């Protein structure tokens, strides 16, 4: 398997950002709510390339909320292309993707970036790698669906996502109540079906 990304891949939430400042992060993808203030945690980071996208972590239209849409995922994949082109073959690269809690938007983005960099890797293997990076991963299903389409994966990322949800519910039963509270029953139904 030809893995383009270096082993240094990190997913975290906003509260964890200060603890990442000494880890030689070279690329940051920030996925935050539109109304969230600019983050000052990056002032303590060394030189890095950063892209910020602003949308809410939702899977259905809601008044006053910005849904993830295909353009957001296209921007994430452009970030991935830029990341790949900027990597120094003789140096190290450290990609950090974060959202508010490091559970949904950021894990969907990381999975999308890994799928982009490794088009021949199975979706199941990609999700297994994601769990190593962020054990509590619950990727946003809308984002994964858009990545599936844009990467030409013919539904394999979405199908594997349902199986991933099922495994997460078994290992982290609290996700059922959490996702219900967040209005994400459609994702819970994906887990039941797979």
d(CA 99, CA 173): 22
Cα 116 to its chain centre, rounded Å, is 12
At residue 85, the pLDDT reads 83
At residue 88, the pLDDT reads 64
pTM: 0.93
pLDDT at 6 exceeding the cut of 70: no
Tokens of 128: 């297994």
Query: Domain 9-140 is of which CATH architecture?
Result: Alpha-Beta Complex (3.90)
Q: How many of the other CB atoms lie within 10 Å of CB of 164?
A: 27
Residue 89 — pLDDT band, cuts 50, 70, 90?
Answer: low
DSSP for residue 14: G
Residue 84 — pLDDT band, cuts 50, 70, 90?
Answer: confident
Q: How many of the other CB atoms lie within 10 Å of CB of 56?
A: 20
pLDDT at 3 exceeding the cut of 50: no
Which stretches within the chain are classed as H helix?
70-86, 105-117, 123-133, 141-150, 156-171, 174-181, 185-193
At residue 115, the pLDDT reads 97
User: What is the per-residue pLDDT across 23-67, written as a single tens digit (0 to 9) for each?
Assistant: 999 999 999 999 999 999 999 999 999 999 999 999 999 999 999
pLDDT at 194 exceeding the cut of 90: no
Section 16-23 average pLDDT: 95
Section 110-128 average pLDDT: 97
pLDDT at 7 exceeding the cut of 70: no
Q: How many of the other CB atoms lie within 10 Å of CB of 111?
A: 29
Which long-range CB contacts under 8 A does 123-126 form with residues at least 24 apart? 123/153, 123/156, 123/157, 123/159, 123/160, 124/160, 124/163, 126/157, 126/160
Break the chain into its structural domains and give their ranges: 9-140
């Amino acid at each position: 398997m030809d893995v383009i990304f270096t082993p240094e891949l990190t997913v975290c939430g906003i509260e964890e950002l200060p603890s990442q400042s000494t880890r030689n992060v070279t690329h940051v993808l920030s996925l935050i709510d539109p109304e969230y203030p600019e983050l000052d945690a990056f002032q303590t980071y060394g030189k890095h390339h950063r892209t910020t996208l602003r949308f809410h972590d939702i899977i259905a239209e809601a008044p006053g909320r910005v849904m993830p849409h295909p353009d957001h995922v296209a921007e994430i994949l452009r970030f991935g292309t830029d990341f790949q082109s900027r990597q120094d073959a003789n140096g190290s690269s450290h990609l950090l993707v974060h959202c508010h809690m490091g559970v949904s938007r950021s894990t969907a983005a990381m999975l999308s970036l890994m799928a982009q960099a490794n088009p021949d890797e199975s979706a199941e293997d990609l999700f297994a790698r994601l769990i190593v990076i962020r054990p509590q991963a619950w990727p946003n299903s809308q984002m994964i669906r858009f990545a599936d389409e844009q990467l030409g994966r013919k539904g394999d990322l979405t199908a594997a996502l349902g199986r991933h949800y099922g495994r997460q519910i078994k290992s982290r039963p609290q996700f059922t109540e959490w996702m219900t509270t967040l209005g994400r029953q459609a994702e819970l139904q994906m887990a039941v079906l797979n």
